[in-house]
Amino acid sequence: MKKRVVITEYQKKVLVLFLHDDKCIKIRAVDSIHDTSDSVFLGRVDKVLKNIDASFVRCNKTSMYLKGTKYKPETVIPVMLKKETDVNKKDAITDEISLSGLFVIVNKCIDGVKFSSRIRDKSKICTDNLNNVIIRQNAVYANTESIYNEYKYLSKILDNIYKNKDKRTDNSILYLGLPELLNILFTEDICNYDEILTDSDEVFELINDFCNNYKSKNIDVNIQLKKYEDKMVPLSALISLSSKLERATSRIVHLKSDAYITIDKTEALTVIDVNSGNTTFKGDRATVIHSINIEAAKEVVLQLKLRNISGIIIVDFINEQKSEYNDELIKTIKEELKTDDQGAKCYGLTKLGLVEISRKRISKTLKEQLWT
């Protein structure tokens, strides 16, 4: 199986598509390659409201909400600007400064060493001399020296943020966050992909500059970057971009068995319904229904990641005839969710026979990214 990332422009957005052969498993969109996230500003506490356990900090010329009341008014503190995950809400701030890299995340609020839930065998990663750090999925493909050198590099930046806070004025930028495009790449096991392919000069330069910067610090990024140069066939046509976006945004998703699923989002939750459609029932009906449900279960998890659906998800599968089939269905869902990077969890069947899933909201849905 060939794994590659394709980055191209589409309707004034920059799209990032993660492909396994021709199958798209994830799509993300940014407004510009210059968009950054997790920048650090020097803010001043405006007021403290203990009755709602909140403080308001003047940051980036705006008074912003900060959870907790541990600071006194007029206190000057470094805060990190977090892009809001809900299209209807404003960006927020946190006083827990964390710097994300390709292999590690450094945060002084973390005690010791923690690992990404996607890392199966932690024993193969050397964590000697590391502290206040989360080991990311891509560390699995890195050598010990590269992991340690990135840790030192990010730790030094973090130390400088705290050192410089007394030398700067209010609203100063203490650290300009990474481009959002790079953050999107880092959330996947990008070092295990065969290539990153782009037809954009700006994107190529951005990623190439990052790689060269890391190489100068003896950090081996192991990223294969390629520029798409074919003028006869656009990159969007080569990967059938329109059909991939259609499958990732339409209400109905057809399955190979001629069954289909429908995906409907409400204010409170997302409802997914599995329908047999035009499936031909040859042989034992219970066996055919079970095979449809297993196929649908895999597609449901794929669509959650592809569309970046989060919150509460309820799935109405076709009623199974045997209890062991239900057990296998839940086992399949849980196994598929292990590949997710957003803490998705399956809670099993309700008394009404519905499957409950929850998924942490980290960023906007694909539709919100594309059309807002």
118 pLDDT band (50/70/90 cuts)? Answer: confident
Supply the pLDDT for residue 107: 95
- Token pair, residue 9, equals 């422009």
- Token pair, residue 224, equals 């294969």
pLDDT in tens, 224-267: 999 999 989 999 999 999 999 999 999 999 999 999 999 999 99
The pTM is what?
A: 0.90
Give the DSSP letter string of 231-268: SSS-HHHHTTHHHHHHHHH-SEEE-TTS-EEEEEE-SS
Angle at 34 between CA 28 and CA 39, to 5 degrees: 95
Q: Between the CA of residue 330 and those of 26, 296, 349, what are the distances in Å?
A: 23, 12, 8
Given a cut of 70, whether residue 88 has pLDDT beyond it is no
Packing angle of the helix pair 285-307, 323-337 (nearest 10 deg): 20
In what helix (H) or strand (E) does residue 135 lie, and over which residues does it extend?
strand 133-135
CATH of the domain spanning 1-35+179-246? 3.30.420.40
| DSSP 8-class letter at 186 | H
What are the backbone dihedrals phi and psi of residue 55, each rounded to the nearest 5 degrees, phi first? -125, 155
Would you call 74 helix, strand, or coil by DSSP?
Answer: coil
Supply the pLDDT for residue 84: 61
CATH domain 250-371 topology: Aminopeptidase (3.40.630)
Ranges for all domains in the chain classified under CATH 3.30.420.40? 1-35+179-246
Distance, CA of 135 to CA of 120 (rounded, Å) = 12
pLDDT higher for 236 or 284? 236
pLDDT higher for 366 or 88? 366
What are the backbone dihedrals phi and psi of residue 92, each rounded to the nearest 5 degrees, phi first? -125, 175
**Strand 252-254 with 98-100, pairing:** unpaired
Ranges for all domains in the chain classified under CATH 3.40.630? 250-371
How much is the average pLDDT of 190-215? 96
